Chain A
Amino acid sequence: MPYEAWKDNEYIEGLVNELRENGTNVIVGTFDKLINWGRSNSIWPLTFATSCCGIEFVSLGAARFDMARFGWEVARASPRQADFMMVAGTIVNRMVPVFRRLYDQLAEPKYVIACGSCAISGGPFRKSYHVAKGIEDIVPVDVFVPGCPPRPEAMIYGIMQLSRKIKVERFFGGVNRQQKRQEYLNLVQEKQS
């Protein structure tokens, strides 16, 4: 996909600028590049689906959309071996602890894609007594893919965005790496207070 075709270049550029300003030495930088190349090209999903979006995720693996082209088809049933979680479907109150535990069981580095309006905000069920209003309050989310359900093309776009985001992350050093859990919890606390 050409660079201009992406929708959120400012965001990635912002991350890159931050990287440049904070600088890094050549050797570490090269290692980082290699690691990020590996990480961004090999993102294995967790087989996790609760409702309709999950079926579109199945279609994503099928011949027409074939996510195997990008190397995403190695869906792992065990969270320990997966890299990202495609939250495909509604998360309801009863599912929240289970979902949270699944997220905790993922091995670092781990990413979350909120796929479909239910995962983003509760979607059509937002007013219900038993639906979590967006998964952002439960786990940190990397990419949002809107739609009800999103088309497989949109899902491909979403995972490619995730891949781009991983590319500008840092394995060594401080900037642009993924937030540690404690930091995230502190942030949530700040937000609440």
Chain B
Amino acid sequence: MQEQIAKLFPQATFETVDNTLTVTIDDAHWHDLATYLRDQLHMDYLVTIVGMDWVTSLGCIYYMMSTVDNKMVAAKVSTTDRVNPYITSVADLWAIAGIYEREVYDFFGIIFVGNPDMRRLFLNIDWKGFPLRKDYDENDPRNAVSIENERQTDDTYTYVRQADGSVERKSVPVFMPDDFVVNIGPQHPATHGVLRFRTAVDGETIKKIDVYMGYIHRGIEKLCESLTYPQTLPFMDRMDYFSAHNYHHGLCATIEKAAGITISDRAQVIRVMMDELSRIASHCLFIGTYCMDLGATTMLFYTLRVREQILDIMEKTCGARMTFNYDCIGGVMQDIAPDFVADVKALLEILPKNIKEYNKIFTGNVIARNRMEGVGVLSRQDAISYGITGPSGRASGWACDMRKEKPYSIYSQLDFRQVVAEEGDSMARFKVRLQEMEESAHILEQLVDNIPEGEYCVKVPKMLKLPKGAWFDMYEGCRGVFGVYVESDGTTKPYRLKLVPPCLNLAAVVDHITRGEKIADLITIGGSLDYIVPDMDR
């Protein structure tokens, strides 16, 4: 691959960071390279854009993955101008890049020339400064807590490069003056948290949705930069609180890889079991809340019953119901509870019966089928372009399960099926999750009797220092791919810790798949995508 690129782009330099080919290129050739990577090398899945502040320069690292052969490549683009940093946008190549670039702009102030919508993503419109820059003043009085309503405009702006090379700012309307705009959220029962949709409707039909995020943006990435590696772990529980174990697993595994720590088999098995348990619990809650959104409240209580049973298992071992903080660097915090195995077996016993019951009550119901079938169809191509991973992506026919595609931990030794559906509608997303519960149960069945003996946590230095370098890894959360980018400058604290949440993409795609549907379908589609707002906002 390196030769192919070098042939066309002689000015590019190459390095291999964490087994990934990283191409460094200047801004002028970046768009051409991106087009080449996407079209010729099939790098059609843009995993993330990591904004970086290297003090002397600002820049981005683009991680791309091919859906054909699962190869990854990274591209580094930077600019030394700190006042007006311009980088060419790739929003026309990957649909999700538009949102990623807004995120980078919000945190680093890098302006992407050509992006059609260059507003801030998480912070409000009048926010001063760019928080993830190293020279950001956190105590700026202009950013103090205020009960005054934030300023609101119906316009966005875009930066266009003129023929002479200069960059001009242009204003673009988001809504037309005669649009009937309904504000759904941030406090609304259907948004699953504090997400805000400004929805232009024509009668009951949706014309356009403008998604506002950041109502629960807590700045976890910035906070992590001032904490040691073990101290960053508890934040993982509070992002996607349903995949707490999976996220913990991801961050721990990345740090362990960077520090060169190998953990015991016992810890691996316990981690995977916890991951799968939380996947079942998470999907249970999904089914419940989804059915509640559709108006069948009773289902929520039936699914919560199973979830409570899983929480009991976890509570006995971890001591908490939600924020477990169980995985630690080197293994897990404490050994499993004595009746863990028996409890898991009891769960596996009742689970198939419960899934059968859910199908009986809900899946076959004619009203439910009418509400879900053919609603919010997301094609495979769009799913990849928007980077919709997890059950929602698999429902569109894209095999994107990182447990299979880029196996980590002990997943390569396990026997399980990657659930993929072709329809791409809300019903498919619902069914994929139901089947994934069965697959997770199957994984648990294989492991529950085979937990190897050994220590549950290896010894790690008290003050863990990572060598200089960068690491990027992808793990399977309950809602999609969870990526971790760690850059270390050799101290006990991360120089940059970028967390790639799957839910950001899920919220970004809402506008695309709700157009022309009914208001009630927004609830169906939002529910079936199953985003967690604290996860996308971080």
Contact = CB atoms under 8 A, between A and B. Distances in A.
Nearest to A56: B322
Given A51-B193, A56-B322, A95-B194, A130 B131 contact: yes
Contact of B241 (A52, A97, A138): A52
A97 B218 contact: no
B138 A138 contact: no
10 contacts: A50-B534, A55-B242, A62-B304, A63-B304, A92-B218, A125-B223, A128-B218, A137-B145, A138-B147, A149-B322
Contact of A50 (B149, B194, B285, B301): B194
Contacts of A48: 187
B398 to A, nearest CB: 29
B189 A129 contact: no
Contact of A131 (B150, B219, B234): B219
A77 B189 contact: yes
Contacts of A96: 145-147
A54 interface: yes
Interface stretch (B45-53, B57-65, B209-217): B209-217
Interface of B: 122-124, 131, 136, 138, 143, 145-150, 186-189, 193-194, 214-220, 222-223, 226, 234-235, 237-238, 241-242, 285, 289, 300-301, 304-305, 307-308, 321-323, 533-534
Interface stretch (A9-17, A98-106, A172-180): A98-106
B234 A124 contact: yes
Contacts, number: 126
A127 to B, nearest CB: 6
Contacts of B242: 55
B124 A93 contact: yes
Given A95-B194, A130-B123, A47 B238 contact: no
Consensus secondary structure, chain A interface: loop
A127 B223 contact: yes
* Residue of A49, A92, A102, A138 contacting most chain B CB atoms (<10 Å): A92
Given A48-B187, A52-B238, A151-B321, A62 B219 contact: no
Contact of A129 (B143, B238, B534): B143
Contacts of A42: none
A134 to B, nearest CB: 10
A86 interface: no
A121 to B, nearest CB: 13
Contacts of A151: 321
A112 interface: no
A105 B424 CA distance: 40
Contact of A56 (B136, B149, B237, B321): B321
Interface residues of A, number: 42
A49 B195 CA distance: 11
A97 B215 CA distance: 10
* Residue of B147, B189, B301, B323 contacting most chain A CB atoms (<10 Å): B147
A149 B323 contact: yes
A64 interface: yes
Given A50-B534, A62-B308, A93-B143, 7 more contacts: A50-B193, A52-B534, A90-B216, A92-B216, A102-B187, A130-B122, A130-B219
Contacts of B238: 51-52, 124
B185 to A, nearest CB: 9
Contacts of A138: 145, 147
Nearest to A127: B223
Given A50-B194, A56-B321, A129 B147 contact: no
Contacts of A51: 193, 216, 238, 241, 533-534
Contacts of A20: none
A-B pairs with the 8 shortest C-beta distances? Answer: A62-B304, A128-B219, A100-B147, A51-B534, A125-B218, A52-B241, A95-B215, A129-B138
B216 A95 contact: yes
A52 B323 contact: yes
Contacts of B147: 96-97, 100, 138
Nearest to A62: B304
A107 interface: no
Contacts of A156: none
A92 B235 contact: no
Contacts of B217: 92, 94, 130
A128 B136 CA distance: 12
A59 interface: yes
B322 A50 contact: no
Interface string A125-147: 10111111100011000000000
A185 B129 CA distance: 31
Given A51-B216, A55-B322, A62-B300, A124 B235 contact: yes
A45 interface: no
A148 B244 CA distance: 14
Contacts of B187: 48, 79, 98, 102
A50 B217 CA distance: 11
Interface in A70-100: 77, 79, 89-90, 92-98, 100
